[in-house]
Amino acid sequence: MSRLTLKQANTIVEKALEKAREMKIKPLAVVVLDDAGNIVSAQREDGASMFRIDIGLGKAWAAVAMGCSSRALSKRAKDNPNFMVTLAATAKGKFLPQTGAVLIRNAQGDIVGAAGASGGTGEEDEACCAYGAEQAGLKPDASA
């Protein structure tokens, strides 16, 4: 199984930020994690608030921890909010089940990580992450 490389992660961040500028989104932060939830790359644009990295990290961490997109987790949270609060507490606050992250799959379809962003709406954040993953030659998974 191929792993997410630093070069790929940096490309995801760079291209996600380019997409955010194209979409005229507020200053964004993007965090890319490997399949074990470790930060591979993260950047916060000038003017982004102090919580942006933490929020992007929480969205990506939840996606990779649960093996599904943050969009799917957001839907699950509406149906079972107590369970999601318990997961967040168990994860010591790292778990944020909100739209704005994509799973990242390799060419074989294996999960190799996740990218999460914060700054725009959840849909805008997700679109930037998906674009970045595509530009890095990977498959974003934002399915609900």
- Give the tens place of pLDDT for each residue, 127-143: 999 999 999 999 999 87
- Topology of domain 6-139, CATH: Beta-Lactamase (3.30.450)
pLDDT (0 to 100) of residue 80: 82
DSSP result, 90-105: HTTT----SSSEEEEE
pLDDT at residue 83 tops 90: no
pLDDT value at position 1? Answer: 62
Nearest to 29 by CA among 6, 3, 48: 48
**Whole-model pTM above 0.85?**
yes
24 in helix, strand or coil?
coil
Question: Phi, psi at residue 105, to the nearest 5°?
Answer: -115, 150
Give the pLDDT score at 106.
95
pLDDT of residue 91: 75
Please check the confidence at residue 124 and state whether its pLDDT lies above 80.
yes
Task: Report the pLDDT value the prediction gives residue 37, as an integer from 0 to 100.
Answer: 95
Query: Given a cut of 80, is residue 40 above it in pLDDT?
Result: yes
